[in-house]
A and B are shown apart, each in its own frame.
Chain A
Amino acid sequence: MYHTLLFFHLLSAFIAFITVVMFGAYVLGAPMGKVGFRIADVSWSVSGAGLLIFGVWLALYVDSYRIWDGWILGALALFVAASAFGAWAHKGVRESFDGSREMSMSRIATWQWLRTLAVLGILALMIWKPGA
């Protein structure tokens, strides 16, 4: 059971990186079509659901983890931040498709790199588990 939960939690994290890489490539100058945008968008939603469901399940399943452990709460806070940064980046890219672009490319890039940093932070917390 533990390994199954861990697999789906880890798989969700890999799916999150699809969004991080696709938006990262876009802000570095790679083209992004509507299909690519949709893949990146859906990936973030799927991974978010998977990370929360299987992450919380793992925290409840493993005896020595508590949902209020600092590293788990920190990861949850960073995930909320990453989602907020991602939502701003998403808005900027969507506007560029609609032709109603109000956000500059540098602003989109800023939101995207902030999201990337937050995701890297989550990964560090998941591996080092400070205080666990």
Chain B
Amino acid sequence: MTLLAVVRPDAWNLPLYIHVLGAMVMVGSLVLAASYLFAAARGGSLEATNAGFRSLLYAALPAFIVMRAGAEWIADKEGVKNSNVTWVGLGYMASDVGALLIIIATVASWLALRRARRDGSGTGRGATVAAWLVAVLIALYVVAIWAMATKPT
């Protein structure tokens, strides 16, 4: 019983909801994609590769856009868009690096899918690369969640 709650203005709630919801769906989608892509990397299954690629393209990427749009909106409301505060910097870093890694993983899984469809003899290294990139992304976003919750200065 040592802390008074921090009350935020009502106008911050909707952008925060959109930001957090997008982030949660994105992380869930990344775990979904990882479950398919690691299976594809192990067994070379066309179905798993296809599902992994679709999870990234149709779930993780759109959720990332929602998360980032919500982040921009709430940062604007809070007036921290150009702030040098550590947690804001960590959030933007995780978001920017994350965007790049999601795109690379999506392309790698698409290449794996194309190869599996063409050769019918496995996914090559594409599925493995995509799976490990997604694993790195999940770790990166756990750090981002820590930064957003603890707000280190």
B47 contacts A63, C-beta separation under 8 Å: no
Interface string of B1-43 (1 = CB under 8 A from A): 1111101001001001100110111011101100110010000
| Known contacts A21-B31, A64-B4: A31-B51 contact under CB 8 Å | yes
**Interface majority SS (helix, strand, loop, mixed), chain A:** helix
Interface string of A23-46 (1 = CB under 8 A from B): 001000011010110010001000
Chain B interface, number of residues (Cβ within 8 angstroms): 36
A21 contacts B25, C-beta separation under 8 Å: yes
A1-40 contacts to B, CB under 8 A, are 1-4, 6-7, 10-11, 13-14, 17-22, 25, 30-31, 33, 35-36, 39
A127 contacts B5, C-beta separation under 8 Å: no
Within the complex, what minimum Cβ distance (angstroms) separates A39 from chain B? 6
CB-defined contacts of A30 to chain B, threshold 8 Å: 32, 51, 54-55
**Interface majority SS (helix, strand, loop, mixed), chain B:** helix
CA distance A43 to B138 in the complex (A): 15
CB-defined contacts of A39 to chain B, threshold 8 Å: 31, 35
Chain A interface, number of residues (Cβ within 8 angstroms): 36
Judged by a CB distance under 8 angstroms, whether B150 is at the interface is: yes
CB-defined contacts of A25 to chain B, threshold 8 Å: 32, 55, 59
Within the complex, what minimum Cβ distance (angstroms) separates A121 from chain B? 11
CB-defined contacts of A128 to chain B, threshold 8 Å: 10, 13, 17
CA distance A96 to B105 in the complex (A): 31
B residues lining the A interface (CB < 8 Å)? 1-5, 7, 10, 13, 16-17, 20-21, 23-25, 27-29, 31-32, 35-36, 39, 47-48, 51, 54-55, 59, 142, 145-146, 148-151
A residues lining the B interface (CB < 8 Å)? 1-4, 6-7, 10-11, 13-14, 17-22, 25, 30-31, 33, 35-36, 39, 43, 60-65, 120, 123-124, 127-128, 132
